[in-house]
Amino acid sequence: MQNLLGKLNTRQLEFPAQLIVQKGAISTSEFLSSQISSRRVLLAIDDGVRELAKANLPHLHNSNSIIYSVTAADFDNVRQIDMLCAQKHIETVVAFGGGKVLDVCKRVATIRKFELIVVPTALSSDCISSPVAVIFDEQGKKLSLPAAIPNFIVVDTELCTKAPERLTQAGVGDLLSNYSALLDMDYAKGRANFDGFSYLLAKSAANEILNMEHKPLTDLTTITQLAEGLILSGLAMGFSGDSRPCSGAEHLISHALDYLQLGTGLHGEQVALGTKYCHFLREQLDLPTLDPRVLNTIERLKIKSTPAALGISKEEFFKALLIAPQMRRDRITFLESLEQIPVEILEKAYVNAFEAL
Ligand SMILES: [Zn+2]
């Protein structure tokens, strides 16, 4: 009885208090444009969006605010913002920019209490609402660390249509990789906790992009669906308490590329590459594979997702593949049996994924 009652308990989840995804969201948000201008605000940006921040958030360029330019997603920037928040008694941090700025601020929010508002200017990954921050250590290695969920998310879809296309393509890649991660959740069923809610959320998130009409990536409808999908994806990880619903074997390959510091790919591109390879390897192993529309969408939107396009040689790819299962030892994915898979099968999957016409 005790056990059953335990299972029937509802769970407490951290959730952003407010979300706005719309065209002109910044100027129409009463909260952003007037209310917080009377508070002590730290506006975190990166140099690339300095002018954009001035034009979109003029209220935050007053004497009550401090503007901090995030130079890198590293511990030094985390420390600097944390120190400024303490010295200046900051009440609200507004993170305006791409993944680098958002990740640093989300990480600081785990150490210090303030209200965190994120305003992404590009949709390159599901970091907007996820409880994970990617921070580089002193050796330049990428670490995925726990992060606070923002209190307020404002996505100005019009602003995001103007982001470099490659960033938007990467965002689609990260979202579509959910399908590959979900295959691994299915694979691990019975051996790892299967959280149906986070599974459902991660799937619905990716469906946003798979079922969309074929419009360009700068189209407002596409950007809105991508933003909604990425935000749902981040929340799926929040529900799960880990990144499993959005991070399976394909992410392990990407983590291995990061670990070995190979290539020039963005996170979303690397996981799209991983998604393709895992699909063809699963096919060779007679495991369930992806809906062909997933691969078609990666191709149609021209997401860089081959080793050659990301500056990785075939040999380097296999070097990363071989250490991929060690990147998250507690994560059960179909790559757990990698050592038993004959080299010819691994090669065949590579040819089918990246070399076949
Ligand atoms: Zn990801």
- Per DSSP, the residues of 15-33 read --SEEEEETTHHHH-HHHH
Q: What is the CATH number of the domain that holds 211?
A: 1.20.1090.10
3-state secondary structure of 12: coil
- Which sign, positive or negative, has the C-alpha torsion 309, 315, 318, 324? negative
Beta-strand pair 132-136/18-22:
unpaired
- Distance, in Å, from the CA atom of 266 to the CA atom of 272, rounded to the nearest integer, reads 10
With beta carbons less than 8 A apart as the criterion, state whether 268 and 134 touch. no
* pLDDT higher than 90, residue 265: yes
Of 114, 141, 161, the residue that ends a domain is 161
Tokens of residue 115, six digits = 């209200």
**Predicted confidence band of residue 187 (pLDDT cuts 50, 70, 90):** very high
Same domain, 338 and 201: yes
Query: Does a structural domain hold residue 237?
Result: yes
Task: Write out pLDDT tens, residues 316-333.
Answer: 999 999 999 999 888 999
% of the chain at pLDDT higher than 70: 97
* Pure H helices in the chain: 2-8, 25-28, 30-33, 50-56, 75-87, 99-111, 157-161, 165-187, 196-210, 220-240, 249-259, 267-284, 292-300, 314-323, 343-350
The CA 252 to ligand 1 mean position distance, Å, reads 10
Taking residue 105's Cβ as centre, other Cβ atoms within 10 Å add up to: 29
Calculate how far, in angstroms, residue 230's C-alpha sits from the geometric centre of ligand 1.
10
130 lies in a domain?
Answer: yes
pTM, full prediction: 0.93
Per this entry, what is the length of the chain? 357
Same domain for 26 and 124: yes
DSSP string, 216-250: -TTSHHHHHHHHHHHHHHHHHHHHHTSSGGG-SHH
Residue 2 lies in a domain: no
38, part of any domain: yes
Residue 5 predicted with pLDDT over 70: no
CA of 258 to the centre of ligand 1 (A): 13
For residue 317, give every residue at least 6 positions away whose Cβ sits within 8 Å of its Cβ, in sequence order, or none.
307, 350
Q: Are 182 and 129 found together in one domain?
A: no
State whether 173 and 268 are in the same domain: yes
Check whether residue 51 and residue 151 sit in a common domain. Answer: yes
- Please indicate, yes or no, if residue 286 is contained in any of the structural domains: yes
Provide the pLDDT for residue 8: 63
Assign residue 107 the CATH number of its domain: 3.40.50.1970
Same structural domain for residues 180 and 157? no
**Quick check: 120 and 152 in contact, CB under 8 A?**
no
Q: How confident is the model at residue 19 (pLDDT cuts 50, 70, 90)?
A: very high
In this structure, the answer to whether residues 119 and 236 fall within a common structural domain is no
Q: How far apart are CA 326 and CA 308, in angstroms?
A: 24
CB 27 within 8 A of CB 56: yes
Ligand 1 centroid distance, CA of 248 (Å):
9
Does 285 lie in the same domain as 180? yes
> Residue 25 above 60 pLDDT?
yes
Question: What is the pairing mode between strands 115-120 and 152-156?
Answer: parallel
CA of 126 to the centre of ligand 1 (A): 6
How large is the average pLDDT for residues 6-35? 80
Scanning the structure block, which residue is given the tokens 């070097």? 319
Q: Are 18 and 152 in contact (CB under 8 A)?
A: yes
Same domain, 252 and 137: no
Both 187 and 108 in one domain: the answer is: no
Place of tokens 């001035």: 54
Tell how far the Cα of 145 is from the centroid of ligand 1, in angstroms.
13
Which residues are within 8 A (CB) of 162 and not within 5 positions of it... i.e. 6 or more apart?
A: 218
For ligand 1, the distance from its centroid to the CA atom of residue 62, given in whole angstroms, is: 36
Distance CA 248, CA 286 (A): 18
Which tens digits make up the pLDDT trace of 281-307?
A: 999 999 999 999 999 999 999 999 999
User: Which burial class, exposed, middle or buried, applies to 80 when counting CB atoms under 10 A from its CB (0-12, 13-18, 19+)?
Assistant: middle
Distance (Å) from CA 67 to ligand 1 centroid: 29
Residue 7 included in any domain: no
| Mean of pLDDT values over 265-289 | 98
Rounded to whole angstroms, how far apart are CA atoms 303 and 71?
Answer: 27
Host domain of residue 233: 165-355
For 75-109, the pLDDT digits (tens) are 999 999 999 999 999 999 999 999 999 999 999 99
Structurally, how many domains does the chain consist of? 2
Query: What are the beta bridge partners of residue 134?
Result: 144
- End residue of a domain, out of 161, 184, 203: 161
Residues 53 and 185 in one domain: no
CA of 39 to the centre of ligand 1 (A): 34
For residue 1, the model assigns a pLDDT of 41
- How many Å lie between the centroid of ligand 1 and the Cα of residue 271? 7
Report which of residues 58 and 186 the model is more confident about. Answer: 186
Ligand 1 centroid to Cα of residue 125, in Å, is 6
Whether 78 maps to a domain, the answer reads yes
pLDDT at position 64: 80
Say yes or no: 121 and 170 in one domain.
Answer: no
User: What pLDDT is attached to residue 357?
Assistant: 63
Which residue, 146, 161, 176, sits at the end of a domain?
Answer: 161
Kindly state whether residue 11 falls inside one of the protein's structural domains: no
